[in-house]
Each structure stands twice: as structure tokens, then as C-alpha cells.
Chains A and B, each alone.
Chain A
Amino acid sequence: MTENNNNDKNEAGHEKPERVVGTPSASAEERVVSEPTAENESGHAGPFEPSETHLRSEEQQRRGDKMASAWFIVATLAGIAFIASYFVFPPNASGEPAIASPQIAQYSNMLLGGTLTLAMFGIGAGMTVWARNVMPHYEVHSPYDELPSDDQEKGSFSEFFMKGADESGFTKRPLMRRTLIASMIPLGIAPVVLLRDLGPLPRDMMHHTPWENGRRMYVEGTHRALRAEDLENDPNGMISALPAIDDERYPHGISLNDQAKSVILLIKIPEDDWKDGMNQPVSEGSDETHLNWTYNGIVAYSKICTHVGCPAALYERTTHRILCPCHQSTFDATDAAKVVFGPAHRGLPQLPIGVDDEGYLISTGDFNEPTGPTFWEYQGGGGS
């Protein structure tokens, strides 16, 4: 920036004296101070001759020299050690002890990191000692740029610019100017159009999950379907479950997308603890109540918090609270998972459950509301 200006000026043959940073000009405002004795009123503005500015004895300088050199030697040795320690622990292919073992990885990490640290610190310390103890000390003055440019310069620029604009015809030929601008508009929109295929339109896919009538449920992490009697011995039990799907395309038998919206928390609640909210219809105008959707004291709620989507999994059996560990939205498991504290907007969706002929727990339909964070269209479209 500044460089170009200077070059331009030179080429334009301006003979105005240049203000060069740190250079003393003839003007009196340029002054060199050197600390701590402000006696350096000479014409120099550094780098100075050491004899002029240095306030240390030759002996002190020599000591600084030695100290800096010592640091640099430390850094050199540490650098060599760094390279050497790279080869101390072989990669896994070459046998033991290999860095895949966490303990060896720790040693390797500390050895490499420690030597690197020392090498870096050595150079830093050496340079600091050098700057502080060997180099001369002084401060120089330099003027800030005069702001703004003077009127003559500004006027000249403006005149030149407008003359050019007129010369080009841009100002005088509106048809050409406007059509040029018009031609930019479709090109500006084009990238937006090109991005259309980033993803599908939502339609109603967020309103449906793989749960359907008769779908069994796996204990998450296993491929074992749960039976209602498995929860017999848990008067206050809880378990995280997924729909029993074994799709070979996915290691867990079900895609992460489907896991994210279909995961449920099965909770067994003692009969006396249900609250009135359970007798409400599961959704507006529905004949089913929340209690109808439970089976033998077992209730199934979506595990995904309706706030911003963390798994709301923290269930306290004494208070029957379901708490999201991220932002502490709290839902009452005995009261249709209504929000009792925190930032969530709506309760956790409930899944209707029952048992099939063999006693396995099944879903008897989809959730009463879309699962996951509340979104704009959550009440429109699909649903149960």
C-alpha cells in the first residue's frame, strides 16, 4: 500500500521530501530519543553504532552473547533429541513397543512434545537474551500519516477519476450501463440455483420413524428383543431401546438417521405414581390417552430432547424426572413427559406400545408427534 504510493510518487517525479519511518529529516519534529539518557539528538535514527547507544559494558555484552549461545545450543540438542525420539518408538508394523499402546503413545507424545518444547523455548529465550543484552537500546520517533490527504490531492484524484469515467462513456451512456448491470443479476443468482441439490426438501420425512404396528424393540447395543416380562424385576427400571431392524447395510442394523429419530427410553413406573396428565388424549382429538399407550406400567418416550436434540436420558427413579444433560430441560415421566423445567418447548413424544403373541414388546404405531428438536412445521404433515 504505502510502498506503491511511494513508487508512484517517484515515477510522477514528485520532489516533495518523503517522510520515511524512523529517518530523521531536516525538520525539527524528528527527534531521536535513546533511553535512558535522552541525549541522542544526533542525526542518526538507528541502527546505531553500538558505541553511540549501547549502555552496557563490553563484558556485559559478552555475557549476553554467551547466554544466548547457551540457549541456542540447548535448542540444537533438543532439536536433535526431537528427531531421535521420533525413532525411539517404532510404528505398529515393526512390532513392540508400538505407539498403538496408550502407555507407549503417552511416552512417545511426552518425549516428542517435551523435546520440541525445549527446542522452541531455547530459540525463543536465546533470541530474547540477544535482543535484550547484546543489541543496543534506543527508541525512535516517526510521524503518523497526516489524515486526510490535502484538498489539492483529493481534488486532483477526483478530477482524474471522473475524467476517466466520462472518457469511458460509463456515465454518459445509460443503456450500456444498465444492460451491463442487468446482465450481472442472473449470474449472481446462478450459484444459489446450483446449490439446490445440497439436500432434499423436508416434505414430511421428519414426521415418520421406522416404528410401526408390530415392530419389536432391541436393547440398544444388542440385537436382543425385549419381552415385557424382562422388566418384571425392575419396579423402577429404565432402558434405552431401538426398533428391531437388521439392515445389512449398517453395522448396527439401522442407519444413524433412523437411530436419531426412533431411539426410545423405556421406563417402568409403579402404578400409583401416574399423574392426571396420563389421562389426556395423546394428541388433539384422539381417542387414545397417554395411559392407553403404556403397557403394564411400561411407558416409551422419545429419547431425543425437543429443545435442540441431545438425548434426554438422565432418568431419576425417585422423582421420575427425565433430564437432558446438555441444557437441563426436565420432563415428568409420570405425566406424559411434560416439561417441568428448562428451555424445552414441548414434552417428549410418546410411542404406543404393547406385546405380541410371543410376549415381546412391540410398538403399536408411530409417535404422537415428530421426535427431535421442535421445528416450524412439526404440527403439520404426517404425525401418528
Chain B
Amino acid sequence: MSKTTQAPKALRGVGNYIDDRFHLAKTGEKNLRKVFPNHWSFMLGEIALYSFIILLITGVFLTLWFKPSMLEVVYDGSYESMQGVPMSEAFASTLYIDFDVRGGFLMRQIHHWAALIFVAALVIHMLRVFFTGAFRKPREINWLIGVAIFVLAMVEGLFGYSLPDDLPSGMGVRILQGVMLAIPLVGTYISMFLFGGEFPGEDIITRLYVLHVLLIPALLLGLIVAHFMILWHQKHTQYPGVGKTDKTVVGTPMFPAFAVKAGGFFFFTFAVIAGLSAFVQINPVHLFGPFAPTSITSGLQPDWYMGFMEGSLRIFPNWFDFQIAGYPIMTAVLVPGLVIPGLIFGGLALWPFIEQWITGDKRARNVADRPRNAPVRTGVGVAGIVFYGVLWMAGSNDVLSETFSIDLYLTTYIFRVLAIAGPILGFVIAKRICLGLQRRDRETLEQGYESGTIRQLPSGEFIEMHKESSAETVEVLSSKRDPSSTALAEEDVDPSGVENPEARKGMGKLRRALAHWYTKDNVTVRDVEPHSGHHLHHSHDHTSQEGPEEGKDGH
């Protein structure tokens, strides 16, 4: 078994041919040896990558028949239910793909399901990166690229949703145009230029098509390649553990194990998407009928990733609309349509820099934070999720109202309150939970874990035996760094009573305040000697509750 198989002659031939021209043997080996940390949460980005590949493949298939034209025709194709109905060529060709091209229906459904999964995977991948602090130096630029991919993916999805020119898709375009028209001064011009005249005009599908199949995918592809190359160059972050440091990455090598795993994962992703597409109907445009600007259906929704915008359009009131000399400033459209997405994506993009400014941490961080060990960041993330989630749910308030028999207007009021109160509550609760977990970690580190074995002491008292945790657990728990900030390193007032000039300036003051907020709550483990606690030996006060302050006395 110990003899290595000779490379087959053909393979050697190809290898030599390539190496003669590119000198790649060394680089090739190096890359085959690239290390991938072995944890499922590092594969979330791959779901997005694979869905994107599926989107490219099925998208190319669909373009072979799709006609991006708004010319009105009377349908006389083979799908009986729509015969004699006037519709755009775009819609007619979509029906052709569905009912005349074998496998066309499946491909269209795969394309749509893959789009939903693609954006969903981007979201959970991004959340993983956020909560583990994997966006920190040196990965800020890759984070920015990720945010850009997310935004482009949403726009790409919106445009793709619009192409079949069915009833809901046309309404999506209509809402987009309505938001454009509300832009002060230039809104009307932007709309006229994009639509080639008034809504709906005869150009918009053609224009969205070229954006959807050429421009945005090219940008996405470029950004994804850049994202991947940067990742390859900087290497993955990794969770704390034995031997895992900011200087050394531990994991499975690319070749052979990880390549096979990643390959298998591609097929799994494809299988799940194909399975959904085979059995779960999605976006049945042939049942919706063609778009007409005069028709509407109840329960009209965009695809899920636009739901938060739909929701903010629904719940933002018109109380702040005003007019300047007869010209309206439509805050009820502008805020939900432009300001809120700006806040969400702007906030996402800026967070690494804000956090770095607060903490002053300029070192390269390759070991991921456990979310509980950065409670303020985790709290902010949860607040963001709650805010997004409330808006998202508000986007389906009519469906919720109908399903749960709640007054429609009441749902609007509830969501208005929740959009403000929810994130605050989310922050407080998440932070409290983090601190609670920190406390438990400290206890585990000190006392070992609860073994489940109950023992009776000679005094007659029952205690639960604690056992020593594994070396891995000890390593993970004791690797916790306390949140700190360089802003707090200097005192407000130095010993001689002179105020720190930095602290007096506006920004300096703000930074110190934020730094205090960021670092104040923490359960340190720095003073804990692993397994030094008395529970491991002969404890009598097993049930006593230890707060973080009491915990510091170290028994």
C-alpha cells in the first residue's frame, strides 16, 4: 500500500505540456495543498457560489428561447389556457419555454429556486462572517466586495423577476418606477430615460434583459472571482482550538480531501434545488397571465429578498411628506425606497471600519471570534436582523392579516412599533445572552463540565461531579480575548489633573463613549486557572450563583 501510483502517461503529457509553457508545477502543488478549515459554517459561501453556477447554466439555457421584446402579440401557442390572449413577446416566449421546450419548465423553475437560494446563502454566509468577526483586518476589502455582491444579486434578482412580463413581475417594475418618480428634481427624467418614455413603454424588458444577462452577471462574476482570489490569498479564518492561532491555519488540504468534499457539496446543492424545482411549483407565470398596468391581485409580493423594501414601503407613514413651492418631497416613498436600503447596506459596508475605529484594533485577526465573546457586535448584528426581519414580515402583512385574522391596519401599526422597538430589544437580549454564555464558559473553564454523576458526600449531601474538560475545550475557552479599545488606554484626566486633549474634541469624545459602550460588559477569563475550581474537588456550595464580579475573586 505504501507505493505511490505513477501518474498515467496521458496525464503526465498534459501536465508537462502546460508546465513547459506556464511553469506551474510549484504553484500548482502549493495550491493543491491549500488548507481549508473543517467546519460546516465555512461552506455557506460555497452554497452561494454553486447556486450562482447553476444560475449561469440554466440562465444560458433560457436565453436560447426567451425573446426580450414588449411587442404585443396575440398568443396562439400550444398552451390552451392562454390562446387568444394579447401579451408581450416576452411573456409568449416564456410560455414557449414552459410548454413547448422539453425540460424548459424544469430549467425555469431551477433558475428561480436557485435565485432564491443564492441570495439566502449570501445572507447566511454574511451573517456567519459578521458574527465571527471574520471581516476584521485583513479582510475588510473582501467584506466590501461581499456587500457589493449582495446588492448586485438583489438587483439581478429583481430584474430577472421582471423579465417574463407576467402580472406580478410587471407590478414590481411599476413599483420601481413609482419610487424613481418620487426622486426630487430628476425623478421624472430618470424614469423617462430608463423606460424610453412613459410607463410601461416598449423598451424596459429589453433593457432589463441586457442588464440581467450581461452587465450584472459580468460584474457579479468579476466580484465573485475577486472575492475568491482574495480568500485564497489570505486564507480562511478559523475557529479557536488547539494549534489554531492568528499565525497558523489548521484544516483539511485542498487535495484530495477537500476537493472531493466540495465537489460532493456542489452536487448536493444542485440536488436540493433540482428537487424543489421538480416538485414545488414556483412563480407559475402561465397562471398569473400577462402584465397589464390596470390589473392587480391581492397578496402581491416580490421575491423574498425584496420583501424588506416592500415592507418598508407599506409601513412608512405619509406624515413627513411636505411640499416646497408646489414641488412634493415624498418621504413616504423616498425613505423606504432609498434611505432604508441605504442604511442597511451602508451600515453593513461601514461596520468593519466603525468597529476598528472604536477599538483601535489594527492587528491582523485570523482566529474567528465566538459571537458571545463580542457581545456588542453580536447585539448590533441581532438588532440588524430584527430590523430587517420586521420589515420583511411587514412586506407580507396582508397575507399575515388574512391568515391570522388580524385587522390589516393593526398589523401596520404593530410593525411600525416593532421596527423601532424590536431592534432595541434584540440588542439588549442578545447582549445579555452573550454575557450569560460568557459566565457559563468561565465556570466551565474553572470547574470542568457537569458530568451528570451524582455523588453523596459523607455529610449526606448530594453533589454533582464535575469532570475536567478536554484540552480542546480548555483551549477554546481560554482563548477568549477581552474587548478592549485604545481609546480607553489613556485616562480622561492624567495624574497631574490635565485633561487629555484627545478626549475633549468632539470625535474623540464620541469615540471614547463608544469604546466604553463596546467594552464595558465582559466576563474575563484571564485570571482563571483551568480546572482550579473547587467543584472539581469537594464542593459544598454547588448551587451558588456566580455573577461576573463575584467570579473574579477566583475562590
Contact = CB atoms under 8 A, between A and B. Distances in A.
Touching chains A and B, CB distance < 8 Å: yes
Interface of A: 1-3, 6-7, 10, 20-23, 29, 31, 33, 38, 45-47, 49-51, 86, 89, 91-92, 98-102, 105, 108-110, 112-114, 116-118, 120-121, 123-128, 130-131, 135-137, 139-145, 147, 195, 198-202, 205-206, 220, 240, 242, 250-252, 256-257, 259-261, 263, 303-304, 307-311, 313-314, 325-328, 339, 341-346, 372-380
Given A113-B277, A376-B185, A45 B314 contact: no
B293 A260 contact: yes
Contacts of B242: 33, 38
Interface stretch (B253-261, B435-443, B530-538, B541-549): B253-261
Contact of B187 (A38, A131, A375): A375
B78 to A, nearest CB: 4
25 contacts: A1-B229, A1-B233, A21-B30, A22-B34, A47-B253, A102-B286, A112-B103, A112-B106, A113-B275, A117-B271, A125-B268, A140-B35, A140-B253, A199-B192, A199-B201, A251-B74, A308-B177, A309-B293, A326-B171, A326-B313, A327-B310, A328-B397, A344-B332, A345-B321, A375-B182
Interface in B45-62: none
Nearest to B37: A139
A256 B252 contact: no
Given A113-B277, A199-B192, A343-B314, A139 B38 contact: yes
Given A46-B253, A116-B274, A202-B188, A308 B178 contact: yes
A110 to B, nearest CB: 5
A202 B189 contact: yes
A105 B279 contact: no
A240 B199 CA distance: 19
Contact of B364 (A109, A144, A195, A251): A144
Given A6-B30, A328-B408, 4 more contacts: A47-B256, A127-B264, A200-B196, A375-B182
Contacts of B72: 250-251, 256
A310 B235 contact: no
Nearest 5 CB-CB pairs, A to B? A113-B278, A308-B178, A127-B264, A22-B33, A251-B86
A198 to B, nearest CB: 4
Contacts of A3: 24, 27, 30-31
Contacts, number: 354
Nearest to B107: A112
A127 B248 contact: no
Contacts of A344: 318, 332
A39 B74 CA distance: 75
Given A105-B105, A108-B102, A131 B178 contact: no
Interface stretch (B296-304, B378-386, B495-503): B296-304
B21 interface: no
Interface of B: 1-2, 23-24, 26-27, 29-31, 33-35, 38, 72-74, 77-81, 86, 98-103, 105-106, 109-110, 138, 171, 174-175, 177-179, 181-189, 191-201, 203, 229, 232-235, 242-243, 246-253, 255-257, 260-261, 263-268, 270-272, 274-275, 277-279, 286, 292-300, 310, 313-314, 316-318, 321, 326-328, 330, 332-333, 336-337, 364, 366, 397-398, 408-409, 412
Contact of A308 (B313, B321, B408): B313
A256 B296 contact: no
A144 B246 CA distance: 7
Contacts of B263: 127
A100 B298 CA distance: 28
Residue of B110, B234, B296, B337 ringed by the most chain A CB atoms within 10 A = B296
Residue of A130, A142, A256, A374 ringed by the most chain B CB atoms within 10 A = A256
A144 B139 CA distance: 13
Contacts of A137: 257
B27 A121 contact: no
Contacts of B328: 345-346, 374, 376, 378-379
A154 B46 CA distance: 35
Contacts of B81: 102
A92 B298 CA distance: 34
Given A200-B192, A377-B188, A144 B366 contact: yes
Given A21-B31, A144-B249, A259 B189 contact: no
